[in-house]
Structure 1
Amino acid sequence: MVDERPDVLGRARQAHRAQDWVAAAAHFDAVATELLTADDLAAHADAVWWLGRVDDNLRLEAAACEAFLADARPADAAWAAVRIGLFLLGRGDEPQGLGWIGKAARLLDGVPECHAHGFLLLLTRLEPTLQAGRPAEAVEVARRVRELGHRIGRPDLVALGLNGEGRALVKAGHVVDGLALLDEAMVAVLDGRLTPFASGSLYCHTIATCHEVADLRRMARWVDLTERWLAGFPAAALFGGLCAVHRAQLHLVRGEWAEAERTASAVADALDATRVDYAAEAWYVVAEARRLRGDPSAADAYDEAHARGRDPQPGRALLRLPSDPAGAVAAVRAAVAAAGADPLRRAPLCAALVEIAIAAGHLDDAVRAATEIEATASTYATSGLQAMAATARGAVLLAQDRAADALPVLRDACLRWREFHAPHDAAGTCVLLSRAYRALGDDVSADAETAQAKATYARLGAHQPPDGLTPRECEVLALVAAGRSNREIGEALFISDRTVARHVTNIFHKIGVTSRTQAVRYALDRGLTATG
């Protein structure tokens, strides 16, 4: 009988060179591990990684590392160790991951410059300095990576260095220059000059940066290109999952909540074994999609995100707002404090703080948060941050009884949200516009904005109390419409007169009225009446 193993091994090697990881893995699987060379083991490890078989990948990478050492190839052994460290860190196993990174550094001691040196710089210097908020230091490290790539003829390191420098410049507030470098790095990807692993990493870093600075148009473009790139492979489970999370984030912004939840849920569990940070973000998207549709199971999804290391704020505080405004304020204040000094981390939290603080009657908090968002939007000047800042400023002006000043700011915010297809945010701004118009006596324009918001909420399947009133505020308003005094309302709801007065003030701000008579008319027009 003819031994077919050489043919199987040859087909495995050929399939791997062709980036057909399904065929490569199947053929390598058919050959006993002891018959594989060090290069075969590395190729087998690479193929199964692309298919999401992480445990097999780690076992094979470790075997490849030892085989390369046995062949006196320390640079290749170090590269295998770097990959193991990277993948372990990605799944949240920091002790083992750092152990393998340390082993790679030891193996490279005295070895001439190679691409493993560059990846060690990325892992041990660039990423930590970016996360620690030291962008100037990160720029220097990124340039060292790029220069190394030029010296040893590795375009993947050149591109990753450019990308790292671009991300650092964005962090430092030099957004235009930083994004230009990200785009320049991606030229090499689009030209097909890089390894698939480097290409996938660059796509992920670029999209994540666009999301962080709320450059939604650019983010959508790169997600589209990533999906097109992935479609050229027979299978790419890991990067496909990472890209799916970014696609789900876009679905969320665009009001496609059912699709956002389906997309994120499909990858949330699968990514636990490979990228726990992306799994956490997927769960957060699920939670947000549920919250916006009024699904009480959103709380469970926030817990899943939290368990994987993702701060569940501001979503969890917004979920809490209708039933516990004071608790929601405390939660989002704490989240802002925990975010530290990074303005990009703080921006979405401050946006939520504006909404929550106004609803809870803490206007000073709202003013401070809106001022901070405006400063961040001025520094980074991206479309999403500018829309966020305009919405926050308009809401604060309205809460300060400055409807005439709020009106042009809110009109600008609404236009910005519509320009990049964020219907829920646009509808929320329409509600604020309605209040501004009504406060200025223009009931026709107010009713038009209200009707538009309600139509959008109905189309999206959003559960919204009238004009953003909390359930408690609806109860208070219904009792006001029934002619009850503050004391009588307090007795009926078992709350203090002072709490009733605060609720009435918030209701007046939200619905744009200045007297109980106007509030009664508003309540009767909308069928808000007391049942007892």
Structure 2
Amino acid sequence: MTMPATALDLGRSAFSEHRWSDALDCLARADSEGGLTAPDMELVASVAMLLGHDADGVEYLTRAHQEFLTLGDMAGAARCAAWLVLYLMDIGEPARSSGWMSRAQHLIAGMEEPTEAEGYLLIPAALGALYGGDPTASDELFGRAFEVGQRFHDRDLTALGQLGLGTARITLGFPDEGLQLLDEVMLSVTAGEVSPIPSGIIYCAVIGSCRLALDVHRAQEWTAALERWCGDRPDMVMFSGQCQSHRAELFILHGAWDDALAAARIAQDRSRRGDPEAAWGAWYQQGEVLRLRGSLEEAEAAYAKAGETGFEPLPGLALLRMAQHKTSQAQVLLRRAMSGADPANRCRLLPAVVQVELAEGDLVAARAAADELAAPVHEASRPLERALAAQAEASVLLAEGSPEAALISARKAWRIWYSLEAPYDAARCRVLAGRACAVLGDPDSAIMEFEAAKGEFAELGALPAAAEVLGLTGERPTGQDSPLTARELEVLRLVAEGNANKAIARSLYLSEKTVARHVSNILTKLTLPSRVAATRYAFEHHLFN
């Protein structure tokens, strides 16, 4: 006779099937009916954290720690204390995290035999060294954690230690070695050898490291894998916001800016619901789209929200300052950031440094930045590295009065950006090529390059970049022969800047219903099918200020 499944059985089964909400309900019921063992309390703590219930997760893990103490299992108690250190640090409670660190250290000091908890306690110190500007110390600490994980056959700790080693190596300026370590740790994650929370940490950190190493193909591959992983766990909150912020960044690269904004908004929601690590990327990527579209005040607000997380919104904020004609402030921001940056972050900032130094007229500093960006680059380098280096070189060569060499570099960069399906950056390179052609006395080729770039910017809604092209060609906004009324032209300009009806209504002191009617009239009069087409029309007919 088969015995009916208990709430505990159902909870464990739901956990193994990634049905987190069902798992939490069943395990909580089992807890109220007859209590849980310490390992099952650890299980509930993980589920609660995954669902964004931080307080419940901490409470269950604290109870598990106490139960292990009661049973005399000091290793289990120390392990729970070590995880509490990591959880509380992640959710922004450093004082409680420090308290649990002291308790865990005292427990370990009183044990006769070593325990895997010693390795987990190395992780916070390693992260502190990594983010505090000492990647060498971080590398050593993560290496020790990795060794402890291997000694105790703890797959979670081994994977986290190897993750840290790979990240530290990239930060130290050894991207190939670091990426190889990260590929290896991802094998254990995708094979299901690592438990859910460490798996999510690893997914998100690996994608971040791929971005830092300028490896867009790896970033795309692992972002797709993370999206599938989150999709198999639809009620999970933890890590899902980070997944959306990574998606937003890739959407920006590939010119899907509306999709990027949508992903950023989801990430912001998830960050509030229990994935705090998503906050910086969610707001930063929103700021990037708004800046590129010319909505500078809204971009400023988004960057400010990103900055509230404690991480500076760079290089985006510096490029915003440049767009606001505050180039000297942009220069100060980047020079300060560069002065304390590790090799990997210097590389991330250098393309913006070139732009800002050229705008500020410091050709020597721009040349130094372009040379530093190009120094590690060769034909076998990752495409994004080669594209950024070639684009920076073209910009500096133009300023130095070498248009022929600049044209070669601009077209080289364009080919790589085109192969990466990055329309905005590819169009920027066509502008560089057009400027070089104009200096070389080839106006027809220059016009061809400018027109191609202008069309791409119009498609994207990149108002500032389109205005730059118009300035180069000597074109000026007209609109005198437009069939639209003065108010409709005003609405169309705001549509072309990427504003939604609500924002347009607020700007013009109209109701949303009135704005919607104006938009409908615009599309009808111009026989256009969509707002995107209206934006393109506005650029082509120079209907913006």
AA partner of residue 440 (structure 2): L
Aligned residues of 1:213 and 1:380 also touching (Cα < 8 A):
no
For 2:334, the equivalent position in structure 1 comes to 335
2:379, 2:149 → 1: CA distance?
Answer: 32
Q: 1:421 to 1:121 in 2, by over 3 A?
A: same
Aligned residues of 1:318 and 1:356 also touching (Cα < 8 A):
yes
For 1:306, the equivalent position in structure 2 comes to 307
For 2:55, the equivalent position in structure 1 comes to 55
For 2:521, the equivalent position in structure 1 comes to none
For 2:253, the equivalent position in structure 1 comes to 253
For 1:489, the equivalent position in structure 2 comes to none
Aligned residues of 1:281 and 1:310 also touching (Cα < 8 A):
no
Q: 1:441 to 1:227 in 2, by over 3 A?
A: same
Q: Is 1:123 aligned to 2:129, yes or no?
A: no
For 1:523, the equivalent position in structure 2 comes to none
For 1:318, the equivalent position in structure 2 comes to 319
Aligned residues of 2:407 and 2:433 also touching (Cα < 8 A):
yes
Aligned residues of 1:332 and 1:352 also touching (Cα < 8 A):
no
1:234, 1:315 → 2: CA distance?
Answer: 32
**Matched residue SS, 1:399:** helix
For 1:11, the equivalent position in structure 2 comes to 10
1:162-182 CA distance string (max 9 Å, x none): 332222222232222221121
Following superposition, the deviation at residue 254 of structure 1 comes to 1.3
AA partner of residue 128 (structure 1): G
AA partner of residue 214 (structure 1): L
**Matched residue SS, 1:238:** coil
AA partner of residue 189 (structure 2): V
Following superposition, the deviation at residue 136 of structure 1 comes to 4.1
Q: 1:364 to 1:53 in 2, by over 3 A?
A: same
Matches for 1:226-245 after TM superposition, within 5 Å: 226-245=226-245
5+ residue gaps, structure 2, are 477-539
Following superposition, the deviation at residue 365 of structure 1 comes to 3.4
Matches for 1:62-211 after TM superposition, within 5 Å: 62-111=62-111, 112-124=113-125, 126-211=126-211
Aligned residues of 2:58 and 2:84 also touching (Cα < 8 A):
yes
1:452-481 CA distance string (max 9 Å, x none): 2112111112113556279xx79x997xxx
Aligned residues of 1:313 and 1:332 also touching (Cα < 8 A):
no
2:244, 2:430 → 1: CA distance?
Answer: 31
1:403-462 CA distance string (max 9 Å, x none): 012111111111121221221111111111100011111222212211221121111121
**Matched residue SS, 2:193:** coil
Following superposition, the deviation at residue 275 of structure 1 comes to 4.9
**Matched residue SS, 1:194:** coil
Q: Is 1:396 aligned to 2:405, yes or no?
A: no
1:351-396 CA distance string (max 9 Å, x none): 2232233234333332233233223657994332332121111101
Tell me the TM-score normalized by structure 2: 0.79
For 1:438, the equivalent position in structure 2 comes to 438
Aligned residues of 2:20 and 2:51 also touching (Cα < 8 A):
yes
**Matched residue SS, 1:321:** helix
Aligned residues of 1:411 and 1:433 also touching (Cα < 8 A):
yes
2:307, 2:226 → 1: CA distance?
Answer: 28
1:223-252 CA distance string (max 9 Å, x none): 112222333335322122222211111112
1:74-106 CA distance string (max 9 Å, x none): 222222222222122212332222322232222
Q: 1:188 to 1:47 in 2, by over 3 A?
A: same
Q: 1:477 to 1:193 in 2, by over 3 A?
A: closer
5+ residue gaps, structure 1, are 479-525
Moved more, 255-264 or 153-162: 153-162
For 2:374, the equivalent position in structure 1 comes to 374
Following superposition, the deviation at residue 293 of structure 1 comes to 1.6
Q: Is 1:345 aligned to 2:340, yes or no?
A: no
Tell me the TM-score normalized by structure 1: 0.81
Following superposition, the deviation at residue 143 of structure 1 comes to 3.2
1:100, 1:5 → 2: CA distance?
Answer: 40
1:136, 1:469 → 2: CA distance?
Answer: 46
For 2:221, the equivalent position in structure 1 comes to 221
Q: 1:368 to 1:197 in 2, by over 3 A?
A: same
Following superposition, the deviation at residue 257 of structure 1 comes to 1.3
1:191, 1:277 → 2: CA distance?
Answer: 25
Aligned residues of 1:90 and 1:275 also touching (Cα < 8 A):
no
**Matched residue SS, 1:193:** coil
Aligned residues of 1:9 and 1:31 also touching (Cα < 8 A):
yes
**Matched residue SS, 2:314:** coil
AA partner of residue 55 (structure 1): A
Aligned residues of 2:245 and 2:264 also touching (Cα < 8 A):
yes
AA partner of residue 222 (structure 2): W
1:136, 1:280 → 2: CA distance?
Answer: 25
For 1:463, the equivalent position in structure 2 comes to 463
2:30, 2:66 → 1: CA distance?
Answer: 19
1:407, 1:249 → 2: CA distance?
Answer: 29
1:138, 1:319 → 2: CA distance?
Answer: 33
1:119-164 CA distance string (max 9 Å, x none): 212222x323333444444443333333322222223333333332
Aligned residues of 1:245 and 1:264 also touching (Cα < 8 A):
yes
Following superposition, the deviation at residue 212 of structure 1 comes to 0.8
1:138, 1:25 → 2: CA distance?
Answer: 36
Q: 1:437 to 1:366 in 2, by over 3 A?
A: same
Moved more, 434-443 or 138-147: 138-147
Following superposition, the deviation at residue 314 of structure 1 comes to 2.4
2:451, 2:469 → 1: CA distance?
Answer: 16
**Matched residue SS, 1:233:** coil
AA partner of residue 213 (structure 2): V
2:331, 2:85 → 1: CA distance?
Answer: 35
1:45, 1:466 → 2: CA distance?
Answer: 52
Q: Is 1:414 aligned to 2:422, yes or no?
A: no
Q: 1:389 to 1:284 in 2, by over 3 A?
A: same
**Identity percentage of aligned residues:** 33
